[in-house]
């Protein structure tokens, strides 16, 4: 043989860029998706001072109660519901919120809140990609889903449920495509979720609906072998039992019955009302829901029966209760890219001239992607550092006023029998800032602790409705109201004989009523 036969072939030209840059050159679309998550984090951090509201102070207040006195059983914080049974279903997330506050104050709690939201958002993107969605399809779904997610940025216990919701949707969607025992991880997730937030009922709905679709798909096998029913039966029975995996046990049933069946929140709280009550959210929601339903009919084979049924259920839930829009947006970010068929040039088919320039182009792409990622990470880091170094008073003052608190404290210290009729925007904040007010404030954001008659009287008092609207404030001499929301009520109390204005900044008002007027 000729020695030429053994000559090694000429080595192909190889790109000399470092090996670790391959991720940035080969996955440019995924890098853009990561940048979207960083952009969301930056936006949430930039608007952080405006995200502390009623539920934020409620989480801190009740978290402090759990920290100091253990898991509560009866109400002690407010006057109208004093002594009533209190099933504090969110005790674990409240305790976590207070623990974070003790570590780093309000700034760290706000950053943790952003972290939970972004974790759910990034997890939804990752879930869509792992389930087979094209990057372009995910990018098409991003704008609407981000718009629907952004209004739910408030610092509150609900955010602890966001990563668990995304993980549950992913596990069930994956099992509907490729069954495995990993689906049983849904049950411990639900058990943890049942101690964090009441939206665990959504998780139970997801698992229960999957059990039904699984049983339907296995109906022929179940007729011949009962073992085929074990998985759907385990999920169907296990999911609702997870609701009881709390320190309250069977008493938790009363909480869910009150919140889901007999709750008056729909008539008093905006986020419990229909989505049409907020047009800026309703318009993009119906666009996103319309695209999703249209894609189900256009490319039905791209999604599973469970995915289609769940999205229809989440659409119905968001239409009836606006607070469910957040979970619809997260689920839509997973399912919509799977359902859409996005065209594009097939990978691996390049022209000869493109192949020659590919190494250089990949190198440029890698450098650009690395620079963009570094810029995004740096921006988030700078905003997070600025938040941590910002005085907590500036965050708090965006919602409340210290002179208002001082006026309330002076009045209640001078008269230990004085009780406070505070509008819900102030009640939990006052209790949080002054523990001595415990048991002296009429009510707070936990409307589920009140009877329907008490709620009706409070609504009449806040809105100055009817001739006897002051019945809801009987026994309460110190009144804390917001003129922007209760102008008629403020006017009515100010006209009472002997009423004194203790604080008035043009919006927030503290009034001391005469004993005869409050009797």
Q: What is the pLDDT along the chain (519 residues), one digit of tens a residue?
A: 444 443 444 444 444 445 545 555 555 677 888 888 999 999 999 888 888 888 999 999 999 999 999 999 999 999 999 999 999 999 999 999 999 999 999 999 999 999 999 999 999 999 999 999 998 999 999 999 999 998 888 999 999 999 999 999 999 999 999 988 999 999 999 999 999 999 999 999 999 999 999 988 888 888 888 787 888 999 999 999 999 999 999 998 888 888 877 556 666 666 778 888 888 888 999 999 999 999 998 888 889 999 999 999 999 999 988 889 999 999 999 999 999 887 654 444 545 544 555 555 566 767 787 888 788 889 889 988 988 888 777 777 666 778 899 999 999 999 999 999 999 889 999 999 999 999 999 999 898 888 888 888 888 888 888 888 888 889 999 999 999 888 999 999 999 899 999 999 888 999 999 988 888
Predicted pLDDT of residue 272: 74
Half-sphere exposure at residue 183, Cβ-oriented, CA atoms within 13 angstroms? 24
Q: Tell me how far apart the alpha carbons of residues 456 and 469 are, in angstroms, rounded to a whole number.
A: 10
Half-sphere exposure at residue 254, Cβ-oriented, CA atoms within 13 angstroms? 11
Half-sphere exposure at residue 496, Cβ-oriented, CA atoms within 13 angstroms? 23
Asked whether the beta carbons of 272 and 265 are under 8 A apart, the reply is: yes
Per-residue 3-state assignment (H helix, E strand, C coil) for 372-439:
HHHHHHHHHHHHHHHHHHCCHHHHHHCCCCHHHHHHHHHHHHHCCCCCEEECHHHHHHHHHHCHHHCC
447: Cβ contacts below 8 Å, ≥ 6 apart: 263, 264, 265, 268, 269, 455
Q: Tell me how far apart the alpha carbons of residues 203 and 181 are, in angstroms, rounded to a whole number.
A: 18
Strands lying side by side in the sheet with 500-504: 420-422, 478-482, 508-512, 500-504
Tokens 């570590």 locate to 103
510 beta partners: 480, 503
Asked whether the beta carbons of 471 and 492 are under 8 A apart, the reply is: no
Predicted pLDDT of residue 6: 39
Q: Domain ranges for the chain, please list them.
A: 26-339, 402-518
Of 482, 490, 55, nearest to 265 (Cα)?
A: 55
Asked whether the beta carbons of 91 and 71 are under 8 A apart, the reply is: yes
Q: How far is CA 334 from CA 128, 183, 287, in A?
A: 5, 17, 17
Q: Tell me how far apart the alpha carbons of residues 330 and 144 are, in angstroms, rounded to a whole number.
A: 11
Predicted pLDDT of residue 69: 93
Predicted pLDDT of residue 348: 46
């Amino acid at each position: 043989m000729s020695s030429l036969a053994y000559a090694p072939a000429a080595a192909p030209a190889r790109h000399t860029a470092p090996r670790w840059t391959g991720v940035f050159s080969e996955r440019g679309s995924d890098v853009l998706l990561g940048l979207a998550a960083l952009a969301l984090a930056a936006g949430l951090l930039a608007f952080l001072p405006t995200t502390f509201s009623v539920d934020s102070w409620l989480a801190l207040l009740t978290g402090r109660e759990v920290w100091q006195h253990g898991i509560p059983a009866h109400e002690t914080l407010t006057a109208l519901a004093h002594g009533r049974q209190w099933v504090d279903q969110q005790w674990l997330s409240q305790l976590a919120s207070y623990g974070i506050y003790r570590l780093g104050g309000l700034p760290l709690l706000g950053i943790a809140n952003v972290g939970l939201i972004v974790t759910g958002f990034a997890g939804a993107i990752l879930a869509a990609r792992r389930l087979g969605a094209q990057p372009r399809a995910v990018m098409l779904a991003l704008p609407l889903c981000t718009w629907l997610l952004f209004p739910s940025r408030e610092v509150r216990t609900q955010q602890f449920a966001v990563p668990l919701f995304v993980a549950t949707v992913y596990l069930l969607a994956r099992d509907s495509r490729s069954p495995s025992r990993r689906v049983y991880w849904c049950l411990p997730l639900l058990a943890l979720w049942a101690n964090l937030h009441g939206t665990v009922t959504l998780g139970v709905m997801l698992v229960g609906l999957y059990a039904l679709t699984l049983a339907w798909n296995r109906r022929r096998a179940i007729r011949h072998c009962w073992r085929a029913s074990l998985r759907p039966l385990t999920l169907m029975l296990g999911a609702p039992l997870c609701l009881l995996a709390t320190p309250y046990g069977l008493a938790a049933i009363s909480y869910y019955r009150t919140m889901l069946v007999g709750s008056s929140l729909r008539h008093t709280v905006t986020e419990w009302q229909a989505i049409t009550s907020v047009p800026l959210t309703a318009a993009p929601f119906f666009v996103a829901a319309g695209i999703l339903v249209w894609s189900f009919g256009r490319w039905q084979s791209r999604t599973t029966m469970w995915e289609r049924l769940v999205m229809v259920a989440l659409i119905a839930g968001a239409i009836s209760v606006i607070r469910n829009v957040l979970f619809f947006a997260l689920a839509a970010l997973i399912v919509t890219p799977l359902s859409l068929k996005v065209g594009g040039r097939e990978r691996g088919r390049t022209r000869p001239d493109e192949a020659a320039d590919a190494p250089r182009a990949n190198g440029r792409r890698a450098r650009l992607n690395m620079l963009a990622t570094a810029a995004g990470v740096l921006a988030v880091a700078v905003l997070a550092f600025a938040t941590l170094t910002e005085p907590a008073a500036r965050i708090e003052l965006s919602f409340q006023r210290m002179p208002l608190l001082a006026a309330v404290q002076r009045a209640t210290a001078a008269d230990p029998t004085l009780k406070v009729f505070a509008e819900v925007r102030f009640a939990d904040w006052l209790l949080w800032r002054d523990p001595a007010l415990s048991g002296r404030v009429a009510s707070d954001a936990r409307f589920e602790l009140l009877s329907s008659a008490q709620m009706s009287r409070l609504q009449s008092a806040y809105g100055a409705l009817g001739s006897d609207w002051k019945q809801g404030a009987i026994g309460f001499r110190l009144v804390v109201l917001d003129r922007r929301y209760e102008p008629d009520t403020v006017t009515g109390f100010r006209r009472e004989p002997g009423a004194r204005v203790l604080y008035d900044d043009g919006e927030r008002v503290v009034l001391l009523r005469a004993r005869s007027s409050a009797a």
